[in-house]
Amino acid sequence: MPRVVRQSAELLRGAVSHYTFVSSVSAYASFERGPTEDNVRAELDDPDTEDILPNYGGLKAACERVVEETYGDRGLIVRPGLIVGPHDPTGRFTYWPHRIVRGGDVLAPEPRDKQVQYIDVRDLGEWMVRLIAQRAAGPFNAAGPVPPPTMEAFLETCREALSPHARLVWVDVEFLREHEVGEWMELPLWVGVLDAEHQGLLEVDVRKAVAHGLTFRPIEDTVRATVADAELTDTAGLKPDRERELLEAWAARSA
């Protein structure tokens, strides 16, 4: 909340030489294209709101402005994309490694050449410590890997690393649209296909972060750690019955 960030920022202003705020790429106003750090940020319709879910991006942007006002060039703002890896409490990435482990036919969404983007929490944390030690300031997007994998490359890596006998069944966009399959939450990492307003959500520009030392571990490392240390939740991803029904309908259409 901006109110809480202001309290902490002002309390520490005279006692610390540097302040780091972890924001989010959600702070940007538009995702029709992948944003750079200079893109316009979201604005709150009601500056006093503390209703998080419908105003998440605007609240993050408002928090950033508080840090900028309070610390100027002594403030570091990090805007991560989807944070994944060990102990991830969401299903927005964990769905895929855990689903691949179960094996069998796995519904995979077209377009298979669509870019995906995320950041392993270990890469993010290590890099932030280095930035802080350097007293870096200003905003930095943080997502990856670089070069970015396609959905196909990501899922094939999951399959090869975790369950080579699993079979990816690629289902076209029109079929998924017809069956009202939801982007992002029902099919994690699938976004900007049906909704053009979010085309660039997984295409965030990270050249500045890479120039300042952000590196990325292999995809295999992230997916193995996710299976080992991040339990699958039911907050995201296709439910087994739903996936089975979709696969049966797709097979019947393709017969």
78, 140 contact by CB (below 8 A): yes
Q: What is the mean pLDDT of the chain?
A: 96
Q: Does the pLDDT value for residue 254 go beyond 90?
A: no
Percentage, residues of the chain above pLDDT 90:
95
| pLDDT, average across residues 73-87 | 97
pLDDT at 235: 85
Q: Calculate the alpha carbon distances from 171 to 42, 92, 112, 174 in Å.
A: 34, 20, 9, 9
- From 81, 71, 73, select the one nearest 25 (Cα to Cα): 81
Return the HEC string of 102-160: HCCEEEEECCCCCECCEEEHHHHHHHHHHHHHCCCCEEEEECECCCCCEHHHHHHHHHH
> Roughly what angle, to the nearest 10 degrees, separates helices 56-71 and 2-12?
20
pLDDT digits (tens, 9 = 90+) for 153-201: 999 999 999 999 999 999 999 999 999 999 999 999 999 999 889 999 9
Q: Residue 181 carries which DSSP code?
A: P
Pairing of strands 105-109, 167-171: parallel
Q: Calculate the alpha carbon distances from 224 to 10, 40, 98, 133 in Å.
A: 42, 37, 10, 30
Q: Calculate the alpha carbon distances from 235 to 128, 182, 190, 226 in Å.
A: 28, 13, 15, 16
Distance CA 230, CA 223 (A): 10
Q: Using the Cα atoms of residue 123, residue 124, residue 128 and residue 129 in order, give the sign of their dihedral.
A: negative
Residues of 21-45 as b/e, b for ≥16 C-beta within 10 angstroms? bebbbbbbeebeebbebebebbeee
> Roughly what angle, to the nearest 10 degrees, separates helices 151-162 and 95-102?
50
Could you tell me which CATH class the domain 2-254 is placed in? alpha beta
**Length of the chain counted residue by residue:** 255
| pLDDT, average across residues 201-227 | 97
Domain ranges of the chain: 2-254
pLDDT digits (tens, 9 = 90+) for 118-154: 999 999 999 999 999 999 999 999 999 999 999 999 9
76, 131 contact by CB (below 8 A): yes
| Other residues' Cβ atoms within 10 Å of the Cβ of residue 235 | 12
Distance CA 254, CA 234 (A): 30
| pLDDT, average across residues 84-91 | 93
* pTM as predicted: 0.95
CA dihedral 191, 196, 198, 201 (to 10 degrees): 70
Distance CA 238, CA 85 (A): 20
Q: What would the two tokens of residue 12 be?
A: 């520490």
Q: Does the pLDDT value for residue 63 go beyond 90?
A: yes
